[in-house]
Amino acid sequence: AQSVAQPEDQVNVAEGNPLTVKCTYSVSGNPYLFWYVQYPNRGLQFLLKYITGDNLVKGSYGFEAEFNKSQTSFHLKKPSALVSDSALYFCAVRDTANFNKFYFGSGTKLNVKP
């Protein structure tokens, strides 16, 4: 079965510090990986994706993610956190057998304190 896991329910970081939100995946074949952000009472917004190419992917709002095949990870990172980054973050993977299907992680709440 294909899946993603987000091992942390919550991540707390001080403003200005680097942040990492973790994601590991389990797929057969080459993964298509995504990160989304959800602000309160809003839909999910796409941040970035990895399909092929460079392992370091840059996305919206200064976020980036590193694809690591050997560790089956796709951690989301930002060098300097902002209070406005506080939100719920979801990692997702496309099903390589049924390309129309996405599997989402359980979400990680990021709290950035001033």
User: For binding to another protein (CB under 8 A), which residues are involved?
Assistant: 32, 34, 36, 38, 41-46, 49, 51, 88, 90, 92, 98-102, 104, 106-107
Cα 54 from Cα 33, distance rounded (Å): 13
Residue listed under structure tokens 């999910």: 44
CB of 94 to another protein, least distance (A): 8
Nearer to another protein, 12 or 30 (CB): 30
Closest alpha carbon to 30 in 51, 2, 6: 51
Q: Which letter does DSSP use for residue 70 in this model?
A: T
Nearer to another protein, 8 or 15 (CB): 8
CB of 97 to another protein, least distance (A): 12
Closest alpha carbon to 27 in 89, 99, 88, 82: 99
CB of 80 to another protein, least distance (A): 25
